Each structure stands twice: as structure tokens, then as C-alpha cells.
Structure 1
Amino acid sequence: MFLAVLVVTFLVFGSRQAGIDQVPPRRPLDTAVYVVLVLAGLALVSRRRAPGALFAIEVSLGLVYLGRGYPYGPLPVPIALAAYGLARRRGTRVTLAATGPAALALVLAYLVGYRPAGLLGGADAVAQAGWVLLPALVGGLVREVRAAAARAEEAAAGRRVEHERLRVAREVHDVVGHGLSVISLQAGVALHVLDRRPEQALPALEAIRATSIAALDELRATLGSGPPEGQVSGGLDRLDAIVDQLRGCGLTVEVQTVGVACALAPDMDLVALRVVQESLTNVLRHSGTATARVQLRYEPGLLGVAVSDDGAGRPADANPVGSGRGLAGLAQRATELGGSLQAGRGEGGGWRVIAALPLQPGAGSVQPR
């Protein structure tokens, strides 16, 4: 409403000043023209609710004003505002269908009311179309820019959702795959000794219970229920627990740390742990080996993670990083962090996984593992 009152005041005083300068030869201002000016200003209150109706009203009032030859003043201003609002809030087709005929009608009304002479007068007449077409062009550009920004934000939101969905899928795979592999092997041990040496089944059942609880806690944390109670971190600080689990399944695991261990960014820390966890789980599943070696090598700006075994490994034609969410997913995660992951047959047989992860500058030292 404030804008409408401001425009009414501007139209009335501007038109009175134009009358002082242009009468004669222009038609003197009368009661009818003041009604036109007031209506042109007050109609702007509907610029958001009914831009199409507002544009029609403003153009009609402008045709009356120009066609009767009143002093040429600020009346095109509300017409321009209406054209801008129409283009901002309506599609291109509606805008073109409305502004094209309106621009032509304003030119004709100017020719009838003012009867311009010469080339300059003709240019003044044609300029009336600019009060409609230029604001409509600006309004259309603003609409397209905002629409493009909204589409970009929607696409970015979709990418964030997809990234989060993929992250959860990877974590669920890593947690469940490792946990079920340990549980399956321990259950096999328990069944094997249950009849002949039932007392030896107890450690396997306890390992199954501990592994299932740990896996459930990790799943709750991954799915947004919050971190498990008492758990501070989800990175390499949990390596010893995972190694102990696998040793309990009969797998010999040797862990070596080269260099001075340093604090890692949370996402880097988690990826390093998952590389070791997934590699050792694959050893347990596929290699039929009793020995696996883990090496963490801390170099300036780089953490090297290597896991190897002396078992049969995978078939010679196997995809080095697989096709599922295991090593393939970890390779993608390492790439996203600026690192790399390679897997293949070791020089002396068996299978070897090597990851290179960049360290953040200024990471603080921690006690060697």
C-alpha cells in the first residue's frame, strides 16, 4: 500500500508540473485525468495477487491518458511496473501475448493524442513501446535467473541426499558384512565343537554376542540414532578391537605401524579403518589363509594403508576392486578424499590392498599404535 500511495503522489504532482510546462498545446488537466492518475497508482496494490489484471488496468488507463492528449508526464511509470511484475510472475508465452499488443496500442494512442511531427516525433511514439517491452524483458530475465537458481539448489539438494544415501549404504555394507562374516565363522566353530567339547563352544558364542552388539551399535550410529554410548571415535582407534575379533576366528593378523601416527580428519580416519576392515574380512571369506599383514605407514602428508595375505586369493580374472560396495566403494571414497586405492595379487602370491590417503596439514601427533 505504501508503494501505491507513493506512486499516486508522484503521478499527481508530476503531471501537474508537466501541465505547467506543456499547456498549451496539450489538453489541460481535469477531474477525469486525476481519477485516471489515482486509479493508476492505487491499482498497484494488486501487483502480487493479480499481475495480469493489473497490467490490463494500467495499459487501459495509459491509453485513455495518451489518447486524449494530456500533458506527457510520469504515467508510463506504473505501466512499466506492471509489465515487470507480469513478466516476473507469469510465463514467457503469457508475457509476450500481453505485452506485444499493449506496446502497439500505446504507440497508436500516442500518435492519436499527440500527433507528433517529423522523425523525432515518430521516435517519441515508438519509445512508448519501451515502457512495456524493456521492463518485461528485465522481469523475464529475473524470473529465469531465479528459476535457474532454484533448479540448481534442488539439484544440489538431490546430490546431497544421494551422497548421504550412498554413504549410509556403504557404511551398512561395511558394518554388516564384517559382522556377519565373523558371526558366521564363530557359529561354525560352535557347531563343530558343540557335541564333543561343548565347553569350547562358549567362547565362540560369546564372540558372536559381542560382535552382534558392536555391529548393532555401529548401525544405530550410521542410521542417525547417535553414536554408541561411550564410543568417542569411529576410526583407527578401533583397529585393535577389529583385529582381536578376527584373531578370535582363527585368523593370524600382524599389525605394523611405520612412522609417527598422527591425528586424522574424521572422514579420513573412518576410510582408513574401513580399508583395513574390508580387506581383512575378505581374507576371512575368500583366501583360506591363516595369516594377514596390516601396515600403516605415516609419511609427510600421506597415510599409506596396506593389507596383504599369503592365501590363495581371488581368481586371476577377478576384478581387482570388485563390483559391489566393498573395495569398489572404498576406492571411490578414497578418490573423493584425494587419495587412491589399488588391489590385486601380491608379488609372492596372495592378495594385496594398498590405499594412499592424503593427510591434512598441521595434524597433531598421537601415540604410536
Structure 2
Amino acid sequence: MQSADDALEVPAVGSEPDYWVADSDGMTSRRAMAAASGPYERAVTPEIAALRLAIPADLVADLEEAAAALASFDRHAAAALGPESPTLGPMSSILLHTESSSSSQIENLTVSARQLALAQIDESTSVNARVVAANVATMEAALRLADHLDAAAICEMHRVLLSAQPGGEEHAGLFREQLVWVGTSAVSPRGAVHVAPHHERVPAAIDDLVAFMARDDLPVVAQTAIAHAQFETIHPFVDGNGRTGRALIHATMHAKGLVTRTTAPLSAGLLTDTSAYTDALTAYRTGDARPIVEQLVRAALFAASSGSRLVDDLAAQVAEGREALAATGLRSQAGAWKVLPVLVAQPVLNSRFLQERLGMNQVGAQRALDQLVAAGLLVERTGQRRNRVWEHGGIVTVLDAYAAGLRRR
């Protein structure tokens, strides 16, 4: 049981009073609508740019262990494939896809590896798959912008996320100009778990957060956890705050040089106990950052361990593919050898993808696909003469098994 001396004290979130007049949504009873109107309190986030942390000794040790585990994972992901391996780029991408899927699952957006891969080549009819694909693009933007983490970069991450989400274009990349809250009622903030600050406070709060993230005098994992909790407390956007906030975790760690070559599946670790994660955010708002720091420590250790196994399983699929191609006697210049490593990140693909991503012409792309089919590595899934797609079943199975393991936990 944590004692008061074990807490990691931060300024508690303040509040200010307001009055809410509820508008009927046509689905709420008159009695409930009457209760929905009335006084409520909205958050006022404290400034943290100059925050001084007194980190308990036991937590210091945990933070060092988590940072070491993430750095080790980053090295392992590169070493498992070789620093010059053409698979490293695709492997980094698939870890990013895995992380994006896990982050989306926290929002109850589940999608199979096959559907996500189909969405990546514009062949999926699944709305969830397209939304998760947008989350992948958001993670990519977060890493691309990591060296310039400011308000504009955060808005760009959000723009990428919501631009691909049905109905999200109106608010994409823009700080909100309305009240938002976290709770079960769609018509009233009264009784909500968290009522975000007034929208006029958002720009200054984000600037303060950016200044905090720019500091280099704090343990990276603790700094990242606090920055994430502060972002979720500000809740600067109408929608997509959770996924943008988890992308910010990776941008911060990348900017600090902790994980630079790959993407650790940190959201997969948070996904193993979402109740503890949301409780930790609540604790942060009451003035104790220890629970959210502990959640990120636990997620980091889980990500390093499970991510390493995932890397090994996927690398094994590539190694088996090389053996299968070699057994066919295929010459080293054949297109199939060029496509094989790409299958790690894109286990479902079509001829157009190879032409656009690998610069193949139509004949060359089709020849490479035929070679991979002949080697038993790809199976055509549509049975059609046109608009065909091919799938690497082994890689899809590995990715789905990883996701299923998260859900079981």
C-alpha cells in the first residue's frame, strides 16, 4: 500500500465554477434532461514548466530499469535483423502499426492485422481499419516532428489523425472552441469523470506543456508520463485526445533519444490494464503523479519484453521466407527478394502497392508476386481476375496472436 511519503507530488488540478444548460438530444428523458442542467466545476490546469520533482528512491530505480529496458529493446530490434538489413525499415513500421492498433484498442477500436493491412492499400471496407490506419499516420507524424515538439507539431499530429476519420475534418488540427468532458453523458458535464479546462485556457496550457517537455533535467520516462497526463488533462481537442496523447509519448521518448530506431509497443502495455491507466490519470489530477509514472514503467517493461518476442517471431518469418526462395533456385536479382522484407510491414498487398512503393513496373510487380506464390509465401485471397490482393499468412498470424494475447491479459 502506497503511503503519503511514497507519492510523487505534482500540483493538483484546480477548478472553477460554471453553469450548464443542457440541450435535448432527442434520446434523453425529460427527467434526465432536468438533472443535466445546473452548476458544475471545470478544470484549471496548473503550470508545470518549472516543476520540481522529488522522486522517491524506489521509483528512481524503477525508472532506470524501464529506460534501460526500452534502450535494450531498441538495440535488439536492430540487431535481430542486422543494422544494414533492408527489413529494419519495415520492421520499424510494423512495430509502429502494432503500437497504433494497441492505442486504438484503448478507445475500443479493434481491427485485425489483415484489415489494417488492407486499409493501408485502400482495399478495406472497415471503418475501424481506416481509423486505425489514420492512427498509424499520426504515430509517423509524431516521430517525424519529434525534434520540433511545439504547439504546431501537436496540432499537426492531430490533423493527420482526424483528417482520415469520418466527420473529423472540421476539427482536424485545431484546438477546440467548446467544452469537452470525459464521462458517460453526451448532454451534460455534470457528474463527469473529468471536465476539461475552458477552451480559452488551452493555448497557454499547451505552451506550458511544451516548455516542460523541452527540459533535459528529468528522467525521461517520468517526464514522458507527466507530460502525457498533463496533455490528457488539458484535453485540447474536440476528439482524438487519447490517441494524440499516446503518440506524444513516442515523440517525447524519440526526442530524448531513448527509443530512436524502432517503436516500442507502449500502448500494448497500457492496454493490459486500462482501468489502472485511467485511475492513474485521475490520481495525477489530484496531485500524485506516481501512479501514471508507474503505469508507464510497467508498460515500458512489457513493451520491451513482448516487443522483443514479436520482433523475433517476425524475423523468423522473414528467415523462413529467404529459405523458401532459395529453395526455388531464384536468382538474387529477382523481384521476390526485394518484396520479401516489405511483407513484414505490409503482409497483405497488391500489384499497385509494389509499383508505388518499390518502383516496379506492372509486369515486374506481377512477376514478383507470382514468384512469392510459387515459393509458398503468398496466397491470393480474392479469387478474382482484377483487383486482386495477396497475403502472407504467417506474418498475419503472428500479429493477430500478439493482439489476442493483449486482449486476454
User: Structures share a fold, TM > 0.5?
Assistant: no
Structure with more helix by fraction: 1
Q: TM-score, normalised by structure 1?
A: 0.23
Greater strand share, 1 or 2? 1
Q: Highest relative contact order (Cα 8 Å, sep 6+), 1 or 2?
A: 2
Asked which structure has the greater CA Rg, the reply is 1
